[in-house]
Structure 1
Amino acid sequence: MAEVDDPLFPLTGEIEAPLVLFRANVCPEWIDEFDHVSFDHYLTISGHANWAFWNWINSPESTIEQRGGHENVIVESTVRYMRELPLGTPIHVTTQLMSYDDKRYLVLNKIWNSGDETLAANSELKCLGFNLNTRRAESWSQKIKDRFELVRGACDRETVV
């Protein structure tokens, strides 16, 4: 997914709400026969935002190799569509950590048209801690738990619509 991800952002301890870690222009491969983003590619966009969030929350260990196989997998997703996004439209995604526990987290990604600031879609993703070496679910490290707590504090300041 790195072809359109924003540059990696360091986690400095100061977190803006809403959190924006993914920006792009609507790509030709996301367009369907009706000349707008197809339904499945809203999940692609949300997946890019989740990948950016995961890399950010793990920084400075921002690659799979640096994390030693301690990753997450998306186990559930929902999307709500509100507006069309034609080819070339500049977009950004706001990411809000809604909740987390020892092995899971839930994020709400809102996909915005950056040109007119309208909400095009939102997507909730439930993610599970996963070890690529054992191919099993696993609990978050203490570092990740601490960072989730830091992010939740910032997200609590954001109004959920």
Structure 2
Amino acid sequence: MAAPLALYETVIKPDWIDLYDHMNVAYYVLICDEATGAFWNHVNGGRSLEHRQGGEMVVLENHVNYVREVRLGDPVRVTTQLLEYDTKRVRLFHTLLHATEGFVSATNEVKAIGFDLNQRRITSFQPLVQTKLQEVWEEQRHLPVPPAAGKGITLGRS
């Protein structure tokens, strides 16, 4: 059965703890950004920066939902679902989970674009990346869209 990719895990570090004795909001974004990087490495077939010839991906937009706190020393893992993509853009959905207790701590929706580091401009993804994105899409396209995906910020009822 298809499932989101599980490409990143870590343990909550002392520097990430705030005055409320739980992980500060900025580090949820950091962890999810690391998961975005892990996804990017995955669709690059593990090629290093030097072998990608300037073909990279940059994040344009992030939306984080903080669901339940995590604290110092908690192990966490992030699952990643490819919601949609085209030749230049991807939309990912990360779910940050407590690795041993299994609860959802946060979700993060990301929109990113292909970017040529050499020319400093938007570009299409390289053929290898487009092939890998198609493979991930074929594995995940029947997964349900997470309820928090595509939601903006509003003061109305959720």
Q: What TM-score, normalized to structure 1? A: 0.86
Contact 2:83 2:145 in 1 (8 A): no
1:37 aligns with 2:23: yes
1:159 aligns with 2:148: no
Quick one: distance in 2 between partners of 1:88 and 1:25? 6
Q: Which amino acid aligns with 2:135?
A: L
Shift in Å, 1:16:
5.7
1:106 aligns with 2:91: yes
Partner of 1:82: 67
Contact 2:54 2:118 in 1 (8 A): yes
Q: Which runs of 5+ in 1 are unaligned?
A: 1-14
1:132 aligns with 2:117: yes
Contact 1:22 1:48 in 2 (8 A): yes
Shift in Å, 1:47:
0.3
Quick one: distance in 2 between partners of 1:60 and 1:116? 30
Give SS of 1:65's match. Answer: helix
**Where do 1:4-83 residues align within 5 Å?**
17-61=3-47, 63-83=48-68
Q: Which runs of 5+ in 2 are unaligned?
A: 147-158
Quick one: distance in 2 between partners of 1:124 and 1:60? 23
Flag as ranges the 4+ runs of structure 1 deviating above 4 A. Answer: none
RMSD value, Cα: 1.4
Contact 1:110 1:121 in 2 (8 A): yes
Quick one: distance in 2 between partners of 1:140 and 1:48? 20
Give SS of 2:37's match. Answer: helix
Shift in Å, 1:156:
2.1
